[in-house]
Chain A
């Protein structure tokens, strides 16, 4: 896979139309996702730096583990203001 780019940030995004509240993302990425009282995800708003490898791995697990494919990792380069 080579070297992963460590610069920039990412945000885990949920498509609320696809989401059915399975709650897998909250289990797989607990540092990024909370659930509301109906089981739907509340995701950390702020862009997380890609240097936070653990959070990024969690986000990837959550993206892969979502039964409805409702999650998407949006990456941002550092040039954009945030």
Chain B
């Protein structure tokens, strides 16, 4: 256990703690950008979302290093239990406990996001609100335990992270967008290109919409029938007056007798 008594583990803990805080600040800020529908002109909205997701992975890696080095280090007496269960650490019981709370919340948010395709979206959203709480706990944890975050540059970094997320939270709360905040400039309709509906789609466009807004047919679509189409597709044939050209999802189909 010679390696575990080196001071480098402790240095790694301190350094990765600071880096993790900065990374999660960026993650929360990017998530706010996604939720407030920022992007779509220079940077696509989906790119902000992907950056949010990818940066989470980096931040989780640094968080794992931060926790592992803390536990393995013999300089401060913490145990494996105190990673998840608060108030079980001998070293700075309250501060490390708040860190454990933060880690639990972050773990819940992360796991639910990894399972996002498999759980209901409302569940994921409910869990995702707790990321604010997790970040707040992380700030408190960093300030209370922080060897470096009490003075100098460390204090400046922590205050900058806290104020960034505070501004993001206020922006999220007061500037929350309406249900739909308009099309993005990356969507092809914003370009207003003309050659649409030339070959015609089998289903006529709904009469409430102009013809240019109907879906541009793909190359593989069949040519337009001369007669008004009697389409018996696999979708339930809905009349064109529906506001959304959709068919009900198959889950609803199964539930109905």
> Which residues of A approach B to under 8 Å, CB–CB?
9, 11, 13-16, 18, 20-24, 26-28, 30-31, 33-40, 42-49, 51-52, 55, 64-65, 67-70, 72, 74, 76, 80-82
How far, in whole Å, are A67 and B125 apart by their CA atoms in the complex? 10
Residue of A nearest to B216 (CB): A34
Residue of A nearest to B31 (CB): A67
Q: How large is the interface on B (under 10, 10 to 19, 20 to 34, 35 or more residues)?
A: 35 or more
Q: Determine how close the nearest CB of chain B comes to the CB of A12; give it in whole angstroms.
A: 9
Query: Nearest 10 CB-CB pairs, A to B?
Result: A21-B180, A26-B187, A35-B183, A39-B180, A69-B121, A23-B184, A24-B46, A44-B215, A38-B180, A16-B244
How far, in whole Å, are A10 and B116 apart by their CA atoms in the complex? 22
Interface of A is mostly: loop
**Can you report 5 A-B residue pairs in the complex whose CB atoms are below 8 A from each other?**
A11-B235, A26-B183, A35-B183, A67-B34, A76-B234
List chain A residues, Cβ under 8 A from B235.
11, 45
Beta-carbon contact of B250 and A45 below 8 Å: no
List chain B residues, Cβ under 8 A from A72.
249-250
List chain B residues, Cβ under 8 A from A55.
218
> Which residues of B approach A to under 8 Å, CB–CB?
34-35, 37, 40, 44-46, 49-50, 116-117, 121, 124, 179-184, 186-189, 201-203, 209, 213-218, 220-222, 232-235, 243-247, 249-250
Beta-carbon contact of A45 and B216 below 8 Å: no
Beta-carbon contact of B234 and A37 below 8 Å: no
Q: Identify which of B34, B202, B215 contacts A34 (C-beta below 8 A).
A: B215
Beta-carbon contact of A44 and B217 below 8 Å: yes
Q: Identify which of B44, B220, B243 contacts A49 (C-beta below 8 A).
A: B220
Residue of B nearest to A74 (CB): B250
Beta-carbon contact of A23 and B45 below 8 Å: yes
Asked if A27 meets B180 with Cβ closer than 8 Å, knowing A34-B216, A81-B232, A82-B233, the reply is no
List chain B residues, Cβ under 8 A from A13.
246-247, 249
List chain A residues, Cβ under 8 A from B182.
37-39
List chain B residues, Cβ under 8 A from A36.
183, 209, 213
How far, in whole Å, are A52 and B180 apart by their CA atoms in the complex? 31
Asked if A43 meets B215 with Cβ closer than 8 Å, knowing A14-B244, A20-B179, A21-B179, the reply is yes
